[in-house]
Amino acid sequence: MRVLMIGDIVGSPGRKALLEYLPRLKRSHRPDVTVVNGENAADGRGITRGIAREFFGAGVDCITLGNHAWDKREIFDFIDKEDRLVRPANYPEGTPGRGYTRLTLSRGELVVVSLMGRSFLSSLDCPFRKADDILGRLKGNPAVLVDFHGETTSEKQAMGWYLDGRVSALVGTHTHVQTADERILPKGTAYLTDVGMVGPYDGVLGMNKDLILKKFLTQLPVRFEVGKGRVQFNAVVIDLDPSSGKASRIMRIRIDDDRPWFD
């Protein structure tokens, strides 16, 4: 089973890039399933029902979220009804939406889990114990993909080791910068600290760089906006054996003006 996981889509430049590159990637890589992190899809903050539909219409099978999940308030109107939309599972009991979902694919089942780190982020439930809890409930040994949304490399690496051999793949999101440390951990879990983002190439995490710089330089309140201009596209392709759940290969995809894509 081939999984295509695409990092945080930032604003309309990110959405356009997704619509442009996804069909081309599907043709060349032929993934069985496509998962996208959508927490920044609407103006860099949150996601709307319309955007979620657009993504599903374009061939996305599942959307994961993160700390920005809730920034567009309409999420509360549809997150409970849309079972392909997954928010971090370690938000407290009673949080709208679901923390994992089971996708039935032609080549088997894939469970997609979202978890969020706590280092320099919200005060959530323990993501390690929540992972144990979810894995304990799964029946039929499905393949499992975890999107671990976290700030620090230490928490992400720790989770990778914690779940090695227990999930098919754990990839990070949230820092918006792709890391170069993809590997198959010793017990068979594909790992990458961060997938990176999809959106403006000449911004800061996809946001207008002048505004971010203004913030750092003045320490005054600044209203951030999504950047403009040319884009980057970051993703990862993982091959896994749906019967054993083990990963056999992980390959990063990085497209931008310095690394152009040729079909």
Q: Provide the Cα torsion 26, 29, 35, 40; round to 10°.
A: -70
Tally the C-alpha atoms within 13 A of residue 13's C-alpha that lie toward its C-beta. Answer: 23
- The one catalytic residue in 15, 45, 68, 156 is 68
CA 108 to each of CA 135, 171, 243, 247: distance values in angstroms, whole numbers, following the listed order: 17, 20, 8, 14
Identity at 165, one-letter amino acid code? G
Contact 197, 226 (CB under 8 A): no
Residue 66 interacts, among Fe ion, a copy of itself, none and using kind-specific CB cut-offs from 5 to 8 Å, with: Fe ion
Among 11, 13, 44, 66, binds Fe ion (CB under 5 A): 66
Tell whether residue 40 is a contact of Fe ion (CB under 5 A): yes
Each residue 174-213 as x (binds Fe ion by CB under 5 A) or -, in order, gives: x---------------------------------------
8 binds Fe ion (CB under 5 A): yes
Residue 231 beta carbon to a copy of itself: minimum distance, rounded to whole angstroms: 14
**Min dist. Cβ of residue 173 to a copy of itself (A):** 12
- The interface partner of residue 8, options being Fe ion, a copy of itself, none and the CB cut-off 5 to 8 Å by kind, is Fe ion
The H-assigned helical ranges of 4-125 are: 11-29, 49-57, 75-78
DSSP-derived letter for residue 226 is B
Report the phi/psi class of residue 89: left, alpha or beta, with left for phi > 0 and alpha for psi in -120 to 50. Answer: alpha
Minimum CB separation of residue 172 from Fe ion in Å reads: 10
CA distances from 70 to 87, 99, 245 (A): 9, 14, 32
* Residue 149, annotated as binding a ligand: yes
Q: Is 68 a catalytic residue?
A: yes
| Least distance in angstroms from the C-beta of 116 to Fe ion | 8
Enter the tokens of residue 92: 């407290």
Residue 39 is assigned to a ligand binding site: yes
| Burial class for 54, CB neighbours closer than 10 Å (0-12, 13-18, 19+) | middle
Identity of the residue numbered 56 = F
Binding site for a copy of itself (CB under 8 A): 70-71, 91-95, 118-120, 122-126, 128-129, 151-155, 157-158, 161-162, 175-181, 183-184, 186, 193-194, 196, 202, 204-205, 209, 212-213, 216-221, 252, 254, 256, 258
Tell me how far, at minimum, the Cβ of 261 lies from a copy of itself, in Å: 15
- State yes or no: 133 annotated in a binding site: no
User: 145 touches which of a copy of itself, Fe ion, none (CB within 5 to 8 A by kind)?
Assistant: none
User: Is 257 annotated as ligand-binding?
Assistant: no
Annotated binding site for Fe cation: 8, 39-40, 67, 149, 174, 176
Query: Looking at the annotation, which residues are catalytic?
Result: 68
